[in-house]
Amino acid sequence: MKSLMQWQSDHAAQSNQKNPEPKAVQLPSFILDLISKKH
């Protein structure tokens, strides 16, 4: 599960750089928040 979250975060970050969209920003932000809370 951790690996999947990390992969999603990395993929979202790349997508965000290529195509900055509100949806792309919301997804990584939510994932980052979850990871931050877990850590």
Which pLDDT score, from 0 to 100, does residue 31 have?
Answer: 77
Which pLDDT score, from 0 to 100, does residue 3 have?
Answer: 78
Looking at the structure of the chain, the number of domains it has is 1
Which pLDDT score, from 0 to 100, does residue 2 have?
Answer: 65
Distances (CA, A) of 39 to 7, 21, 24, 26, 35: 17, 27, 23, 20, 6
pLDDT tens digits for range 1-39: 667 777 777 777 766 566 555 555 556 677 778 888 876
Domain that holds residue 30: 4-37
Question: Quick check: pTM over 0.75?
Answer: no
Which pLDDT score, from 0 to 100, does residue 34 have?
Answer: 82
